[in-house]
Amino acid sequence: ISPFMIENYRAKRKKSRKKDGSLIKPATINREIEVLRKMFNIAIDNGWAIENPCSSRKIRPFREDNKKERYLEPEEENRLLNACTGEYEYMRPIVVCALHTGMRRGEILNLKWDCVDLKNRYITLL
């Protein structure tokens, strides 16, 4: 098995679909190649193979984007806001901003007042 064959497998697998019709996720393909990589490492350790065609020098993993969107339920939002009291009161504006804008943590923490237009109710991200 050569690195070329592994790349062909990955390309074919990336275009293939599951039974439900959805595409195979990059993380799934990466896990399959990782299993093969480990099998070749065992083969090398036992003298059954000379080199690993799946080594990270030859085969770079796909970038994985398997995150699932999840939204807080109203009850969860209330608990989060209620937790922003006492010594954590300073967190309340940050949490409110996150809940109402969907901005990322870094975007909120790096926000400057000249990027906020309260009158027109918008925030400009740089």
Q: What is the DSSP string of 54-74?
A: T-TTT-PPPPP---------H
- Whether the pLDDT of residue 90 is over 90: the answer is yes
Q: Which pLDDT does position 45 carry in this prediction?
A: 95
- Whether the pLDDT of residue 56 is over 80: the answer is no
pLDDT band for position 61 (cuts 50, 70, 90): confident
CA distance 106 to 21: 36
Question: Radius of gyration of the chain from Cα atoms?
Answer: 24
Which residue type sits at 55?
S
Half-sphere exposure at residue 81, Cβ-oriented, CA atoms within 13 angstroms? 13
What is this structure's pTM?
0.50
Of 16-20, 62-66, 110-114, which gets the smallest average pLDDT? 62-66
pLDDT band for position 55 (cuts 50, 70, 90): confident
- Whether the pLDDT of residue 19 is over 70: the answer is yes
In the chain, where the domains are located? 1-68, 74-123
Q: What is the mean pLDDT of residues 101-123?
A: 91
From 6, 106, 22, 8, select the one nearest 57 (Cα to Cα).
Answer: 6
Residue 25 CB partners (closer than 8 Å, separation 6+): 64, 66
From 97, 80, 99, select the one nearest 88 (Cα to Cα).
Answer: 80
Residue 105 CB partners (closer than 8 Å, separation 6+): 98
